[in-house]
Structure 1
Amino acid sequence: MRGDNRLHRLFRRPAAGLQRWGTDVRGATAIEFAIIAVPFFLFIFGIIGTSLHFFTVSTLEQAVESASRKIRTGQAQTDGVTLAEFKEMITDQGTGLIKSGHLNLHIQKSSDWTDLVPVACLDGRGRLTPPTGSPSDSVQDYASGAGEVILVTACYEWDLAQPLAFLGFGNMANGSSLIRTATTFRTEPYQ
């Protein structure tokens, strides 16, 4: 009989321990947080990443528009601004968000709006196409006279998309995101 009593106590203890463990609520908050932590932080980083992307797009658009104003008024042509200096104007307007090494510019001129054909920013391998001319070329070579229709296209490789790959911004071969902006205008009679 005595052996049966011990055996009964042996099996009863684990059942009691499981019952106590099942009703114990200590640590429930930590477990609940662990369950929602990953989706929560992905959501927060997604909001921050999307905001940074749109802020960079807006900054680039404003910088290209502001720098292109100097071509529109003829100031860039009469001052002998080079393509490198024009690019620097855009990066200066970009308040540190726009990196010069990641920006390619294309400047086209025509006498009529319909003759302008936008330049593709990416080649067939998902990399930026080469910019217009060489950095030492003058803006005057690409926007020479008054009354011309000018198309300025800026192609920017936003490399912050690489660590934010879960957002799906990366549309380039290296995982970066292409940000493209353009402005079209007719130069004023400055001559």
Structure 2
Amino acid sequence: MARNESAATAVEFGILALPFFTIIFAILETASVFFAGQILDSAVNDSSRLIRTGQAQTAGYTGDDYRDAICEGLYGLFDCTDTSKLRIKVTTISDFASAAPSTPIDPSCYVSGTNCNLTVAQTYEPGVGSSVVLVEAYYKWPTVVNLPLFNFATMEDGTRLLAAVRVFRNEPFGSGT
């Protein structure tokens, strides 16, 4: 009877199952967060070209049109209809030295843990030829695995804040050169 090991595998699996599945889910969550960040960054990069080359200005894009251009590059992985999740800000700045991304949430959120909504105002000012433009996109990506020490959420509501920013000088379109 002392040598009977018929349930040893089940007991060992029971002991190791929680850490094993925690690590598996942490790997999957990490992959999904990085994948989402890359998709958002790529969509902002591709849509910024419309502004940089003057195509958006020539076509008379509005903020909603530009939002649609970004959403086309998100391949349906993001909820583009909810402005509480996706905020886009396009502003013209004086020069590259003055490029500073916005604070997307209220800084008191980190202290109090409340009011962690996106506070960056949505604007669309694509500028004219040779303008320096700052394009910012922020998205609250939902996290699935919210375990202690394996939590990718950066916001109180269990989401992770993703950001993509581009600063560029528009081509000299419309100036006859």
Task: Compute the TM-score of the two structures, normalised by the length of structure 2.
Answer: 0.86
Which residue of structure 1 lines up, in the alignment, with residue 102 of structure 2?
A: 119
Equivalenced residue count is 162
Corresponding residue of 2:145:
164
Say which SS state the counterpart of residue 23 (structure 1) adopts. coil
Q: 1:73 aligns with which of 34, 49, 53?
A: 53
Give the drift of 1:83.
0.8
Matched residue type, 2:56 = A
SS at match of 2:139: strand
- Percent of paired sites with the same residue: 34
Instruction: Please list the CA deviations of residues 2-21 of structure 1 after superposition, one character each: whole Å capped at 9, or x if unmatched.
Output: xxxxxxxxxxxxxxxxxx2x
What's 1:10 paired with? none
Q: As a proportion of its length, which structure holds more helix?
A: 1
Does 1:86 pair with 2:66?
yes
How far is the alpha carbon of 1:188 from its aligned partner?
Answer: 0.4
Would the aligned equivalents of 1:121 and 1:180 in 2 still touch at CA under 8 Å?
A: no
Partner of 2:111: none
Unaligned runs of 5+ in 1: 1-19, 134-138
Across the aligned residues of Structure 1 and Structure 2, the Cα RMSD in angstroms comes to 1.4
Q: Is 2:127 the counterpart of 1:144?
A: yes
1:39 alignment partner in structure 2: 19
Say if 1:154 and 1:180, in contact at 8 Å, map to a contact too: yes
**What residue in structure 1 maps to residue 3 of structure 2?**
23
Deviation digits for residues 161-187 of structure 1, max 9, x if unmatched?
Answer: 1x3122221111212110011011000
Paired residue type of 2:151:
G
Contact 2:89 2:121 (8 Å CA) reproduced: yes
- How far the C-alpha of 1:96 sits from its partner, in A, is 1.7
Map 1:124-135 to 2 at 5 A.
124=108, 125-133=115-123
Instruction: Tell me how far apart the structure 1 counterparts of residues 155 and 39 of structure 2 sit (CA, whole Å).
Output: 21
Where does the alignment leave 5 or more consecutive residues of structure 2 unmatched?
109-114
Deviation at 1:132, TM superposition (A): 2.0
Does the aligned pair in 2 maintain the 1:127–1:173 contact within 8 Å?
Answer: no
Give the aligned residue type for 2:6: R
Q: CA deviation at 1:85?
A: 1.6
Aligned partners of 2:120, 2:164: CA distance in 1, in Å? 16
Matched with 1:173 is 156
The question of whether the paired residues in 1 share the 8 Å contact of 2:141 and 2:161 is answered with: yes
- The aligned residue for residue 96 of structure 1 is 76
